[in-house]
Chains A and B, each alone.
Chain A
């Protein structure tokens, strides 16, 4: 247990104290106590920047289950440090914001902050774990805490729906991912990411390589809301806004991005990885932005925009992976995609976090998030308006905001795809370009919608619940900080490049590092009149036209039939699953004992019958069989007749008497086969049993006393015949082939010398195998007590 481990586990430990702090310090908002933790952690993680800048890593191991190769190994390199700083940094701002957002009188703050800390710890665990199983454990903890946070207002139906949906989808992906991890373990014999990376050369031709890749991508795609799994994210917007800002834009949804980046050194050499990651990413980018324009709820726009931006980062990671396939002298030419991915990851966290907080402020101050009701808020909320302009313009990719830089790099990366002479990219690369460009136009449009529909236009006081006014200063601090970062990162992008981005790139594409151990990134603002710039200009022009004529072409969204949406498919399949399983259960769980017995007996017949046939197990020989005597034949005939009479008896009395005759014949068989003790017992037991049967019979109702002919049921007969035949066949086979001698010689020799008795059966019962007898006595005792209590104990009428 080192300080690093403690840093990961500290949020969990701290969460224990939250309920007490909440209970005993009611006057102070619980968030103030919580705020200390992420700030401390952020400071702690900042110290590592120097380490990773010099290309070093930190590894601390704590044994968990060493015998299974599962150890809690904390590992800091450029990539995990970037995420750890994001988690703690945005975490601090979000908690600060939540202090003003959530009322300490009305809300259950203890729940909120416990869930939030649980999430923060889990997320730190995901990004700092080197061991895949530990990573998976934390991964599922993030799903769980996200579920709890989405369902925070659990009395609302929509919250519960959203929570369930996100749970089902992310857990599905998580389980698939676990399967992928186990396949990796089967191929390499290790759960450690670092060790797996060193073994890449051996496993890339393994048959499990591609399945592992697909399963792990399923986990990443569901978590990071890629097409077609993005559907949970818009519904997760039912969570309180600080949660949406933190989990569903800046951190948790980037866990899938993290996973793809982390495992890039393992899988990037396969073309499947490139195609899946970049194609799904680029299509998600387009689809998310296209759908965002349609939304009327501020948070829904932001949700789809998150989907779109995550798709963009994902596709950039895929394109970066393709760089590995190029045997060009100038490798860094193609690594720009990876650089753009990391840079945009940071930028997205800044502007999307601030935009969510703005949406929360608008909601908080006006009582609605519907853009059809909002408008003209500019003069009421100047600061909020400024922040949202900065965030939205950065999202649209305009200068002078950081989104401009990363979007230019995005275009550069996509343009260079077409220059890669692999996988037919010289022709298919144009596809990326089109999706990227059209997606960017839609991004521009919804960014404008977000700002101008909310803050400009006509003010509609009659539709608002409250009179709008500027938010309290405490609520504004966090978005102001984020918005300042948006601008700072534009003017000074290189404060990030060497300190954060370069070490992160070293973790993602380690094989492409230049000779001096660095990528030598220099983010410049001005490329000259490059194609990227013209693309951006095109985006702005067409986007502006599109925004202004939005009312006219909005109708294209209605072309898409409602029945064919993915949400509809999800809902329908869930209902269908529920119905079909209930129907299936009702079909075979009839409640009739006869049906269940038929299942059991039919199973018995089929399993044993097929085994006999497949294994050719039936054998028949008369060797060693005892001779047939006349008495036995007569007795067998009597027994058979008695048995059959029992079946066909018209009255129950006949059946009981016939059963008795079978029992007494059995006793006679015991006599003939020289078993005196058995004969004695059987006689007595049979007598008592018959008496009991008659007793039961006597208490039968008048109506039922009418003798009814038993209805002959063919199925019953076939089943019964089958069971009888199988038993006979097995008995004959077993008798024909004896595996070994009996051990009875021992009893015959020793019952007098060792036990001092001459009746061997009795000696076995009370001496050699006395335990059997002890518990057989117990059985009788229990039966007697049971019968007594059944008869004596009655529930009184009024208690029923």
Chain B
């Protein structure tokens, strides 16, 4: 199972990097979204995918899945959500002020020329 998940994570990273290298601001943000999905999935995979009960003691199971990676991912999800929403609003404002979302045009001026 881990092999399959590793490959899937690789695909997510690849797509994320590809999108981040493009010119449109929106596509870059889409890339960051995919990247955080990939990272979360990677944490979960690295924690081990051995079958066991959900980490709830009420289950009275013999084996539980590892609760620690889940806690870490939960934190990461919330943080990446906060950052993503900030970025989205930033992109929206940037477009409002500058009338473009093309990164090549958002290059800024060379002060030394």
**A625-B1, A780-B78 given as contacts; is B55 within 8 A of A760 (CB)?**
yes
Q: How far is the CA of A682 from the CA of B36 in the complex (A)?
A: 12
A696→B77 contact, CB < 8 A = no
Q: How far is the CA of A582 from the CA of B82 in the complex (A)?
A: 39
Within 8 A of A (CB), among B30-77: 30, 33-34, 37-38, 40-42, 44-58, 64-68, 70-71, 73-75, 77
Q: How far is the CA of A779 from the CA of B96 in the complex (A)?
A: 25
Q: How far is the CA of A722 from the CA of B106 in the complex (A)?
A: 27
Stretch at the interface among A3-11, A149-157, A302-310, A661-669: A661-669
Q: Which residue of B lies closest to A787 (CB)?
A: B89
Q: Is the interface of B mostly helix, strand, loop or mixed?
A: helix
B99→A701 contact, CB < 8 A = yes
A669: chain B residues at CB < 8 Å are 41, 44
A699: chain B residues at CB < 8 Å are 92, 95-96
Select one of B3, B22, B42 contacting A622, CB under 8 A: B3
Q: How far is the CA of A662 from the CA of B110 in the complex (A)?
A: 40
Contact with B along A540-574 (1 / 0, CB 8 A): 00000000000000000000000000000000000
Stretch at the interface among A218-226, A478-486, A501-509, A687-695: A687-695
A716→B68 contact, CB < 8 A = no
| Minimal beta-carbon separation of B95 from chain A (angstroms) | 6
B40: chain A residues at CB < 8 Å are 666
Select one of B30, B58, B110 contacting A655, CB under 8 A: B30
A582: chain B residues at CB < 8 Å are 112
Q: Which residue of B lies closest to A632 (CB)?
A: B1
**A601 adjacent to chain B (CB < 8 Å):** yes
A636→B8 contact, CB < 8 A = yes
| Minimal beta-carbon separation of B67 from chain A (angstroms) | 4
B55→A724 contact, CB < 8 A = no
B79→A779 contact, CB < 8 A = yes
**A633 adjacent to chain B (CB < 8 Å):** yes
A731→B83 contact, CB < 8 A = no
Q: How far is the CA of A691 from the CA of B1 in the complex (A)?
A: 33
Q: How far is the CA of A752 from the CA of B46 in the complex (A)?
A: 26
A628→B4 contact, CB < 8 A = yes
A696→B52 contact, CB < 8 A = no
| Minimal beta-carbon separation of B64 from chain A (angstroms) | 5
A594: chain B residues at CB < 8 Å are 21-23, 103
A776→B79 contact, CB < 8 A = yes
**A597 adjacent to chain B (CB < 8 Å):** yes
B77: chain A residues at CB < 8 Å are 678, 681-682, 685
A675→B11 contact, CB < 8 A = no
B9→A731 contact, CB < 8 A = yes
**A496 adjacent to chain B (CB < 8 Å):** no
**A717 adjacent to chain B (CB < 8 Å):** yes
B4→A681 contact, CB < 8 A = no
Select one of B5, B37, B54, B95 contacting A676, CB under 8 A: B54
Q: A597-B20, A710-B22, A760-B57 are in contact. List 19 more A-B contacts (CB 8 A).
A: A592-B103, A594-B22, A625-B3, A626-B1, A627-B1, A644-B15, A646-B19, A647-B19, A673-B49, A674-B52, A674-B65, A677-B74, A678-B74, A720-B17, A735-B46, A748-B67, A772-B71, A779-B82, A780-B81
Nearest first, the 6 closest Cβ-Cβ pairs linking A and B are A724-B14, A728-B10, A783-B82, A720-B18, A760-B67, A758-B57
* Residues in A lying within 8 Å of B, measured CB to CB: 582, 591-594, 597-598, 601, 622, 624-629, 632-633, 636, 639-640, 643-644, 646-647, 652, 655-656, 659, 662-663, 666, 669-670, 673-678, 681-682, 685, 688-689, 692-693, 695-697, 699-701, 704, 710, 713, 716-717, 719-721, 723-725, 727-728, 731-732, 734-735, 742-744, 747-748, 751-752, 758-761, 764-765, 769, 772-773, 776, 779-780, 782-784, 786-787, 790-791
